[in-house]
Amino acid sequence: MTSFLDPSLSRVKSLLRPLARRVGLAKGEPVWWDKQSKPQAGSLGLGDASCNVCGWSGAEFADPFHSEMATCLQCRSIARDRFLLRCFLLRNPEPWGLRVLETSPRMGRDYRRMMRRWFEYTASDFDESNHVADIKVDLMAIGLPDDSIDVLLTPHVLEHVPDTALALREIWRILTPGGRMYLQVPLLQGVTAPPIEPEFHGDDTPVFWRFGWDLTETLRAVGFETTVLVTDEWCDSLSGVSPRPAEIGDGFAINDICDHVVVDDLVAVSTPEITRRFGFLATYQFATWECIKR
């Protein structure tokens, strides 16, 4: 019935709501993760900046464009959080209720509450020193039964695991047939190699591998049907349809990355409009490996 409310009555109610709340007659404003809007692959926001994690939309993100920035003003997602969720939801149109495991999610309690509304969601961490998690998981010896997970979200963790092949075999084991992994690692160079200098990320965890495109073949060797999901514009640059972006000394060796790409492995998943709206800039900073257990 509320949609037929007389506008003036609706206005009076909104004016009285803070007073009613103060004396305990009205519920507080629902927090973002408690609203009915689902996380989404696409955007319904009206502003120039939108968040597919929480549904926020506004004029701009809190900080400059970068995969590690462009922070949402409501849920504090950064750009690569939004790209990971877009990849998962775009490629799985009916994901609700799936058993989702996320390794060391960067986002905190509110994000996890939201995920639990829509999925059978578990957050894991290796040592629980930097992330609070539901369970401890060492990717090289995962304490979960075979075929027990439908979707694994694993952002920026695999580069911190010494034995990549062992971790991937464990992931294969816990995924159900038809299950999927959405894997993000920093793609800073064309070919996988250990760091030349000891390297640590922001949470003081050592980096064992700097991955390149050959990670795709490593994933296929374990049995995964594998593609790499990228922005449309980055796909065009990698395919030679449009010029390569200029290297600007931000750690991404663009020419080396372009020289070693296997174009047939790429799938473009973000139009220029979505890329700008969700803040997937610079476009070359975004890649998610989609791995399906057949």
> Residue numbers of the site for Zn ion (CB under 5 A)?
51, 53-54, 56, 72, 74-75, 77
CB closer to Zn ion out of 102 and 159: 102
Minimal distance, residue 210 CB to Zn ion, in Å: 29
Cα R_g (the chain), whole angstroms: 21
CB closer to Zn ion out of 121 and 284: 121
Minimal distance, residue 86 CB to Zn ion, in Å: 12
CB closer to Zn ion out of 75 and 269: 75
CB closer to Zn ion out of 119 and 126: 119
CB closer to Zn ion out of 71 and 103: 71
Minimal distance, residue 274 CB to Zn ion, in Å: 15
Minimal distance, residue 14 CB to Zn ion, in Å: 24
Residue 58 CB burial class (10 angstroms; 0-12, 13-18, ≥19): middle
Minimal distance, residue 106 CB to Zn ion, in Å: 13
Give the span between the Cα atoms of 28 and 89, in whole angstroms. Answer: 30
How far from 250 is each of 126, 170, 183, 288, CA to CA, in Å?
A: 29, 33, 22, 19
Q: What are all long-range contacts of 32-37, with beta carbons under 8 Å and residues at least 24 apart?
A: 32/56, 32/74, 32/75, 32/110, 32/114, 33/75, 33/110, 33/111, 33/113, 33/114, 33/117, 34/113, 34/117
CB closer to Zn ion out of 107 and 158: 107
Minimal distance, residue 186 CB to Zn ion, in Å: 22
Give the span between the Cα atoms of 60 and 82, in whole angstroms. Answer: 15
DSSP secondary structure string, 152-189?
EEEES-GGG-S-HHHHHHHHHHHEEEEEEEEEE----S
